[in-house]
Amino acid sequence: MTSKGGKESDALARAFGALVEGLTFYDLANVAVAEMRVKVAFEELGRRKKEQLGRLEGVAGSGAKAAAVMPGIYPINVVSKVECYVCGFAADTKAMPNTCPNCGAARYAFEKEIALTKAWEIAAEAGRKLAILFGESAAHSGGRTKAVLEELARDEEGQAVQAARQLDELRT
Ligand SMILES: [Zn+2]
């Protein structure tokens, strides 16, 4: 593999990682929170990540996706575990129990409170960072992959602006 090829596959691994990380974060956040408006926001944000991932897979194939390197942009640790507020029993969000196996509390004892403003703050910040990351990945890529990465960068800029607007509305 030439050095340009190496750089291109690194760039792709980072781009895939950013989307996989975003999708993972929003999916977990959607399960962990109870408040309907916050759930809906996370669901919609996750749906966009899934759609972007599909676009990148369309040009780069799933082999590159397997090499995904997560950039650590999304606060996954905030949503990957849930804790029973009655007894402190911790569980993986992916396997959130219907009743606490330790104290018998109902499922809602595990639900997290994440404010809607926090959800849009995360989305705005991630959007700005992903726009830069995709721009850099595009610079190391060519052909249709480059075009899609540039498109994704513009997409993220738009999503960051939209998230910031949602935040403004919530704060006024
Ligand atoms: Zn418990």
Q: Exposed/middle/buried for 77, CB within 10 Å: 0-12, 13-18, 19+?
A: exposed
Helix (H, G, I), strand (E, B) or coil at 100: coil
Helix axis angle for 116-139 and 143-171, nearest 10°, is 160
Q: State in Å, rounded, how far the first CA of the chain is from the last one.
A: 54
121-154 pLDDT per residue, tens? 999 999 999 999 999 999 999 999 999 999 999 9
* Ligand 1 centroid to residue 122 C-alpha, Å: 29
> What pLDDT is stored for residue 74 in this prediction?
97
Percentage of the chain exceeding pLDDT 70: 97
* Ligand 1 centroid to residue 77 C-alpha, Å: 20
Beta strands in 124-169 (DSSP E): none
Supply the pTM of this predicted model: 0.92
Higher model confidence: residue 65 or residue 164?
164
Kindly report the average pLDDT of the chain as a whole number: 93
* Ligand 1 centroid to residue 108 C-alpha, Å: 11
d(CA 155, CA 22): 14
* Ligand 1 centroid to residue 22 C-alpha, Å: 29
> What pLDDT is stored for residue 5 in this prediction?
57
* Ligand 1 centroid to residue 37 C-alpha, Å: 26
75-115 pLDDT per residue, tens? 999 999 999 999 999 999 999 999 999 999 999 999 999 99
Once rounded to an integer, what is the mean pLDDT over residues 22-29?
97
38-68 pLDDT per residue, tens? 999 999 999 999 999 999 999 987 777 888 8
Neighbours of 6 (CB within 10 A): 11
* Ligand 1 centroid to residue 92 C-alpha, Å: 14
* Ligand 1 centroid to residue 72 C-alpha, Å: 30
Q: Name residues with Cβ closer than 5 Å to ligand 1, which is an ion.
A: 84, 86-87, 89, 100, 102-103, 105
Q: Which domains does the chain have, with CATH numbers?
A: 3-171 (1.20.1260.10)
